[in-house]
Amino acid sequence: MKRSSCSTVAYPWFLIPIVVVSFAALVYPIYVIRPFRLQRPRELAAALAIIQIRPPIELACAACALGGLLWYWRAQPLLSRRRLAAAGAFLVCTLAVLSRVNVFELMFHPDTHPLFVPIQQAKVDPDDMVLAVKLDGMARAYPIRSMGYHHVINDVVGQEPIVATY
């Protein structure tokens, strides 16, 4: 009985730092790397480092939250508290899933399967500017008005894998 009450008290205190770590690992990089904000070198390096180490951290947080919940569920007689604890563990799992999504990759609508057409079929005005490249005798143009929207095009021109950026 004494052991059960100890565990029921301990779980919320166990869960709070897990939620904080999980939330911070998700939100700090988004906060730092958002558009129209000055990115200072140290905070940018920290944000990118967090992104690199985040997957195992989020996974460990989710595993701890779920493992703790299992223990708490057995020990805690009150259903309402069990549900509250389950909501906390669910939150940590949701943060772990969201950490796998890069909001910028969604925001800028990548052209993941670029298609190319002959000049005669291109709907580009003569005075529109294009990024032009010629490799292995093959000439390719990327209209600036498209590139200003997609920004990144992975391509192979001739035998050369290149990335056009704007």
Partner 1 sequence: MWTRESGGLVLTFHLAGINNQNFLMRDDQTGSYWQQITGEAVSGPLRGRRLTLVASDELSFGLWAAEEPGGTVLKSVPKYASDYEKKDWEVKMKKERTVLSFADPARGLEPRTLLLGIQALGASRAFPYDAVIQEKLVLDRVGAEPVLLVVGPDGESVRVFRDRIPGIDGHPSFYRMLDDKQSHPHDAGWLKQASAAPLLMDEATGSEWNFQGCAVSGKASGLCLESVAAVKDYWFDWRNYNPKTTVYIRRP
Task: Give the footprint of partner 1 on this chain (CB under 8 A).
Answer: 29, 33-39, 44-45, 48-49, 51-52, 102, 104-105, 108-111, 114-119, 121-135, 138-154, 160-165
Whole-number Å distance between alpha carbons of 121 and 118 = 6
| Nearer of residues 40 and 83 to partner 1, judged by Cβ | 40
Contacts of 87 (CB under 8 A, 6+ apart): none
Query: Nearest approach, Cβ of 19 to partner 1 (angstroms)?
Result: 25
Q: Give the contacts of 152 (CB within 8 A, at least 6 positions apart).
A: 110, 163, 164, 165
What is the amino acid identity at position 51? I
Of the two residues 16 and 128, which places its CB atom closer to partner 1 in the complex?
Answer: 128
Query: Between 5 and 160, whose beta carbon lies closer to partner 1?
Result: 160
In the structure encoding, which two tokens stand for residue 75, read together?
């020990």
Tell me the residue length of the chain.
166
Q: How far is the CB of 137 from partner 1 (least distance, A)?
A: 9
**How many degrees, rounded to 5, is the angle at CA 94 between CA 22 and CA 13?**
45
- For residue 159, the minimal CB distance to partner 1 (Å) is 11
How far apart are alpha carbons 127 and 143 in whole angstroms? Answer: 11
Nearer residue to partner 1 within complex by CB, 97 or 139:
139
Which tokens belong to 26? 């998700």
Q: How far is the CB of 96 from partner 1 (least distance, A)?
A: 17
